């Protein structure tokens, strides 16, 4: 039996694309290898959102030359965003690579492996939204589900519109069919994936899609990522408020607290407009958790702009953030802007952002001590064999000792006895 090994970098979208690659290869009679050394096919599913992610892949790729020398029959594929961006340049750089396949074309990978010596697919795929590949999911409780692909926003720093193409929404009926099947297999939670779920459009809009999914028996929790602040509608806020199985958590990337920088980023909202949406969300759903993304050291960002980001973090008090140093991505408009910021300055700004947010996150988690939360148990905890881990509806990690046969997939009450910035600890009650 032939074996494959997948090495995945980057976001949930890539993680789920890898699940589909697994599903397709399993259906073809392949098995998953324990590691790259006993594989007949190695697939790198790559990320190019920041330079760091790219470097991780290129350092792994270096080792592949020796692998191929030892086993000339080995096939190596590069998929994901670097594949899309680099195309045949990857094969020129590393001739031992057999296939280069962009995120819109993973449906072709199986045919390449079976029938082609060497092949490249980076073309636009107009049928992507109608191509439902069978995913082999790593988890048994929660599942990722694509609702749309690509992005039309062209934030000036971002490579995604170039690597994943224009927005394409899946038909609501096929999304509902997939989630029905997941429910029948025992899944309890779905996370709907799109670069900007608020611009989802088929026969229904995004709140309309939630309205259909919420009726699916057995799906206790619905999450979604990512929301673009400019498209966040009142209807969505009401859906989170009113639909019992839509979780009280929203990831709403702010990127910067300076309206001037937001303009340079082409985000299409000002800080005041963003804040107004936050206030509406919190008015309608007081216990919601709100998380965000921040970029430190965007071109032309001054100390004053940075201070505005710091003030925004203090004013909003997110439950958590992902923060990154701005990374110059070839082909994006920001990469050509004057006033690129020195790395040392970016590092200081990032440190200040993270240091402040760590304190806020810890404080917000501590508010939850002595409260009871609804927990969906996900599996054994890394903190010990005698513990289980799960999440609150607000997406916070909850860890507790085994209790009364409670098991992954159960929805239970959890009393929080202790909290730090990473997790909540407690007991099942």
Give the binding site for ligand 5AD (CB under 6 A): 49-50, 157-158, 253, 255, 293, 295, 324, 326-327, 329
Total Cβ atoms within 10 A of residue 383: 14
Q: Which does 228 bind (CB under 5 to 8 A by kind): ligand SF4, ligand 5AD, none?
A: ligand SF4
Which stretches does DSSP call E strand in 212-355? Answer: 221-225, 249-251, 289-296, 320-325
Q: Which does 281 bind (CB under 5 to 8 A by kind): ligand 5AD, ligand SF4, none?
A: none
Binding partner selected for residue 50 from ligand SF4, ligand 5AD, none, CB under the kind-specific 5 to 8 Å limit: ligand 5AD
Closest to 138 in 3D by CA, of 29, 15, 1: 15
In terms of CB distance, is 295 or 316 closer to ligand 5AD? 295
Q: Which entry of ligand 5AD, ligand SF4, none binds 324, CB below 5 to 8 A by partner kind?
A: ligand 5AD
Task: Confirm if 250 and 281 have CB atoms less than 8 A apart.
Answer: yes
Q: How far is the CB of 39 from ligand SF4 (least distance, A)?
A: 31
> Least Å distance between CB 156 and ligand SF4?
8
Closer to ligand SF4 by CB, 20 or 228: give it.
228
Look at residue 346 and give the partner it binds from ligand 5AD, ligand SF4, none, a contact being a CB closer than 5 to 8 Å depending on partner kind. none
What is 158-221 written as a DSSP string? --HHHHH-S-EEPPHHHHHHHHHHHHHTT--EEEEE-TTGGG-BSSSBHHHHHHHHTTSTT--E
Q: Minimum CB separation from ligand SF4 for residue 192, in Å?
A: 15
Residue corresponding to tokens 């062209």: 154
Total residues contacting ligand SF4 by CB under 6 A comes to 10
Q: Which does 161 bind (CB under 5 to 8 A by kind): ligand SF4, ligand 5AD, none?
A: ligand SF4
Per-residue CA distances from 270 to 99, 212, 263, 410 (Å): 43, 33, 8, 42
Between 81 and 416, CB nearer to ligand SF4:
81
C-alpha span between 384 and 399 (Å, rounded): 10
Partner in contact with 196, chosen from ligand SF4, ligand 5AD, none, beta carbon below 5 to 8 Å by kind: ligand SF4
Own/partner contacts of 199-204, CB < 8 Å, gap of 24 or more, are 199/148, 199/152, 199/167, 199/228, 199/231, 200/147, 200/148, 200/169, 201/169, 202/169, 202/170, 202/171, 202/172, 203/171, 203/172, 204/172
Residues 220-249 that bind ligand SF4 (CB under 6 A): 228
Choose the contact partner of 284 out of ligand 5AD, ligand SF4, none; CB within 5 to 8 A by kind: none
The interface mask with ligand SF4, positions 151-190, x = CB under 6 A, is x-xxx--x-xx-----------------------------
Give Rg (Cα) of the chain: 22
Determine the Cα–Cα distance for residues 429 and 372; give it in Å rounded to an integer: 9
- Residue closer to ligand SF4 (CB basis): 158 or 281: 158
In the complex, least distance from residue 273 CB atom to ligand SF4, rounded to whole angstroms: 16
Looking at residues 75 to 104 of the shown chain, list those that interact with ligand SF4 (rule: CB under 6 A). none
The CB-of-135 to ligand 5AD minimum distance in angstroms stands at: 22
Pick 251 or 396: Cβ nearer ligand SF4: 251
The candidate with the shortest Cα–Cα distance to 356, out of 257, 425, 228, is: 257
Q: Which does 153 bind (CB under 5 to 8 A by kind): ligand 5AD, ligand SF4, none?
A: ligand SF4
Q: Which two tokens stand for residue 291?
A: 């998380």
- Whichever of 179 and 197 has its CB closer to ligand 5AD, that residue is 197
How many contiguous H segments (helices) and E segments (strands) does the chain have?
A: 13, 19
**What Å distances lie between residue 421 and 247, 268, 371, CA to CA?**
21, 32, 16
Binders of ligand SF4 among residues 31 to 70 (CB under 6 A) are none
In eight-state DSSP terms, residue 300 is: T
For ligand 5AD, give the closer residue by CB, 291 or 381: 291
Cα distance between residue 166 and residue 149, in whole Å: 8
Which of ligand SF4, ligand 5AD, none is residue 195 near (CB under 5 to 8 Å by kind)? ligand SF4
Q: How far is the CB of 392 from ligand 5AD (least distance, A)?
A: 23
Residues that bind ligand SF4 (CB under 6 A): 151, 153-155, 158, 160-161, 195-196, 228
């Amino acid at each position: 039996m032939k074996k494959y090994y997948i090495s995945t970098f980057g976001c949930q979208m890539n993680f789920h694309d890898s699940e589909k690659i697994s599903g397709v290869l399993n259906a073809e009679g392949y098995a998953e290898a324990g590691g790259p050394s006993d594989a007949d096919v190695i697939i790198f599913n790559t990320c190019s959102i920041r330079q760091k992610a790219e470097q991780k892949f290129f350092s792994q790729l270096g080792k592949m030359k020796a692998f191929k020398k030892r086993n000339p029959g080995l096939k190596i594929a590069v998929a994901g965003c670097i594949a899309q961006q680099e195309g045949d340049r990857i094969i020129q750089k590393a001739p031992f690579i057999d296939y280069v396949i962009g995120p819109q074309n993973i449906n072709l990978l199986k045919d390449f492996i079976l029938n082609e010596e060497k092949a490249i697919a980076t073309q636009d795929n107009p049928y992507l939204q109608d191509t439902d590949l069978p995913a082999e999911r790593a988890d048994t409780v929660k599942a990722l589900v694509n609702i749309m692909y690509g992005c039309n926003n062209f934030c000036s720093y971002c490579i995604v519109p170039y690597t994943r193409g224009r927005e394409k929404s899946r038909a609501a009926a096929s999304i509902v069919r997939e989630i029905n099947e997941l429910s029948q297999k025992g899944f309890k939670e779905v996370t709907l994936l799109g670069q900007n779920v608020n611009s989802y459009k088929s026969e229904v809009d995004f709140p309309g899609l939630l309205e259909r999914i919420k009726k699916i028996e057995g799906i206790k929790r619905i999450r979604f990522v990512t929301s673009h602040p400019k498209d966040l509608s009142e209807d969505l806020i009401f859906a989170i408020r009113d639909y019992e199985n839509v979780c009280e958590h929203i990831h709403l990337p702010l990127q910067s607290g300076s309206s001037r920088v937001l303009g340079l980023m082409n985000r299409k909202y000002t800080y005041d407009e963003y804040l107004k949406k936050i206030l509406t969300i919190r008015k309608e759903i007081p216990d919601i958790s709100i998380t965000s993304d921040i970029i430190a050291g965007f071109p032309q960002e001054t100390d004053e702009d940075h201070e505005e980001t710091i003030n925004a973090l203090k004013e909003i008090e997110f439950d958590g953030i992902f923060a990154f140093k701005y990374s110059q991505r070839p082909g994006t408009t920001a990469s050509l802007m004057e006033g690129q910021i020195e790395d040392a300055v970016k590092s200081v700004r990032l440190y200040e952002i993270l240091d402040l947010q760590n304190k806020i996150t810890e404080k917000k988690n501590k508010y939850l001590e002595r409260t009871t939360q609804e927990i969906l148990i996900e599996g054994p905890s890394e903190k010990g064999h005698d513990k289980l881990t799960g999440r609150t509806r607000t997406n916070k990690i909850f860890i507790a000792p085994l209790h009364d046969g409670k098991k992954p997939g159960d929805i239970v009450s959890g009393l929080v006895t202790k909290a730090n910035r990473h997790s909540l600890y407690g007991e099942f009650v």
